[in-house]
Chain A
Amino acid sequence: KAGVTQTPRYLIKTRGQQVTLSCSPISGHRSVSWYQQTPGQGLQFLFEYFSETQRNKGNFPGRFSGRQFSNSRSEMNVSTLELGDSALYLCASSGGNMNTEAFFGQGTRLTVV
């Protein structure tokens, strides 16, 4: 069974640009969550999508957005990039209820210069 796949693995962008990250969950999983990991703030929840609907959202500005497609693949977009957006972005895939564990991808390392 294939794991969670995130693309690309590494990205370098310039301030003011926008970026789109992709996540393909484990086959059969309908929930995809996104997390931002930075040395200062640790792991922080961005949002969760389930059956193409945003089900939960963390405390991030509107520049961070996402969507989920009918095949459960998800994308997150960050517009008007800031230096502070440099982070490891992790995607988690799960069955969608509390009684299941979340499996994570290897992440996308975004560097904003």
Chain B
Amino acid sequence: AQKVTQAQTEISVVEKEDVTLDCVYETRDTTYYLFWYKQPPSGELVFLIRRNSFDEQNEISGRYSWNFQKSTSSFNFTITASQVVDSAVYFCALLHGSGNTGKLIFGQGTTLQVKP
């Protein structure tokens, strides 16, 4: 079965702290894509990153970085020097199999609160 688990329901940090959001996925497919989305209070899901199963390179984009490890089926997201504007719900998602285009499987989300 395909599944995404975000074990952290809520995380609260103080501004400027680093924070890591965990994501563990399950799939039997060899070709799949992993995503992270941010959902601010407005409700829109904002795309952050896409990673395919053949590319295990870690990625850094400004204060954001992602660690993809196939050996542990994890795709963790780190925010360095967090800011109040980072407060949101973050979702990890999986897109698997050639016949499942458009069908993202989401984790339950992690609510991040960054306090000033």
Which residues of A come within 8 Å of B, CB atoms?
31, 33, 35, 42-45, 48, 50, 55-56, 58, 88, 90, 92, 94, 96-99, 101-107, 109
Contact = CB atoms under 8 A, between A and B. Distances in A.
Contacts, number: 71
Contacts of B46: 104
Interface in B26-43: 31, 33, 35, 37, 42-43
29 contacts: A33-B102, A33-B104, A42-B107, A42-B109, A43-B104, A44-B106, A45-B102, A45-B103, A45-B105, A48-B102, A56-B99, A56-B100, A56-B101, A56-B102, A90-B43, A92-B45, A98-B31, A98-B98, A99-B33, A99-B52, A101-B35, A101-B47, A101-B50, A102-B47, A103-B47, A104-B37, A104-B47, A106-B42, A106-B44
A35 B106 CA distance: 10
